[in-house]
Amino acid sequence: MKRKVIATALAGLLALSACSSSGGKKADDQATKALGGGGPRIKIAMVTHSAPGDAFWDIVQKGAKSASAKDNVQFLYAADPDGGKQAQLVQTYIDQHVDGIIVTLAKPDALKDVVAKAVAAKIPVVTINSGAEDSAKFGAIAHFGQDESIAGQAAGEQLNKAGVKKAVCLIHEQGNVGLEARCAGAKKTFSGDLQNLFVQGANMPQVKSAVTAKLQADKGIDGILALNAQVALTASDAAKDAGSKAKVATFDMNKDLVTAIKDGRIQFAVDQQPYLQGYEAVDELWLYKNNGDVIGGGQPVLTGPAIVDKSNADTVAPYADRGTR
């Protein structure tokens, strides 16, 4: 009788355990299915201040498209370097009732009102690349990018290590607060003399002409800090034409830029990992829509700065070759 009671009790415990296990697995499966790639397709739009043909923004888009494919997202993209036109593009996506908007705040005053309209329409907004200081104030749930002032300070320190004494910082888009912050940050840590020089980033012949003229007019300039990979490569050609031995460094990268670092034409690059900015922005909006998650808890999530020079260019080169760094 005693053995029979024990056996009966044990069978009941096993049945209860099996029931609990089955129920737990079912709940887990339901949660996984709700968050899986097979869930409802959502539409996410990205609007940036990019000029046509900018390789940096191609990398951002690659990251966003990769995350979109994983998350079952329809990804839309538009860009205009003019702040007012950029705001109009954001308004277009608001009118289309997209599920989320990713936007850059290079010219925050031009975007403030339209971001507020998106928030009022209950469309979650994520900012990338520029505008970390205004992101949360404007109502965005997250920001992905580097702190431009800190990145500039890192560049200034690298110029010191390179032995540069007098340099120019090439701002290729007037009114872009992020670019201005980079030069200002570099001035804080650079022990020499650093002057700003405005060039037309959308016109490489003009960039080359302006830099050549500056180097010919001031033979004391021994360093050039560009804020864009293509501008840096053009500045290197300008230095050669001017007969200058000025050392060229830059922010941001592409395949040709990494090769130039390996060859010694470019001293270093400050990498903010644009692929990561696009990828994480899409992922954040998907997570927010499906699970209420906010990466970084509302604080800016830093994707840089990382210094790429001859010591680590070989490591980065394969990723640059495939267009993701």
| CATH number of residue 128's parent domain | 3.40.50.2300
Same domain? For 135 and 259 the reply is no
**Rounded distance between C-alpha atoms, residue 243 and residue 237, angstroms:** 10
pLDDT band at 81 (very low <50, low <70, confident <90, very high): very high
Q: What HEC string does 111-147 produce? A: HHHHHHHHHHCCCCEEEECCCHHHHHHHCCCEEEECC
Residue 18 inside a domain? The answer is no
Lowest average pLDDT, out of 43-47, 54-58, 132-136, goes to 54-58
Same domain? For 125 and 46 the reply is yes
Residue 154 inside a domain? The answer is yes
Strand partners, 128: 144
Of the chain, the percentage scoring pLDDT greater than 90 comes to 85
Residue 4 inside a domain? The answer is no
Same domain? For 183 and 114 the reply is no
Same domain? For 70 and 169 the reply is no
The helix (H) or strand (E) run that includes residue 319 is: helix 313-321
Question: What sign has the CA pseudo-torsion 64, 65, 69, 70?
Answer: negative
Same domain? For 140 and 191 the reply is no
Same domain? For 136 and 153 the reply is no
Same domain? For 279 and 255 the reply is no
Q: Find the largest Cα–Cα distance for the chain.
A: 107
* pTM, 2 dp: 0.83
Residue 86 inside a domain? The answer is yes
Same domain? For 167 and 181 the reply is yes
The first and second tokens of residue 249, run together, are 């460094």
Residue 289 inside a domain? The answer is yes
Output 90-94 pairs: Cβ under 8 A, ≥24 positions apart: 90/47, 90/114, 90/115, 90/118, 91/117, 93/45, 93/47, 94/118, 94/121, 94/123
As a whole number, mean pLDDT of residues 257-280 equals 97
Residue 35 inside a domain? The answer is no
Q: Indicate the number of domains in the chain.
A: 2
pLDDT score recorded for residue 53: 80
**Rounded distance between C-alpha atoms, residue 181 and residue 89, angstroms:** 26
Pairing of the two strands 223-226 and 247-251: parallel
pLDDT score recorded for residue 36: 53
* Domain hosting residue 126, numbered range: 42-146+274-293
Same domain? For 108 and 81 the reply is yes
Q: Is the pLDDT of residue 202 over 60?
A: yes
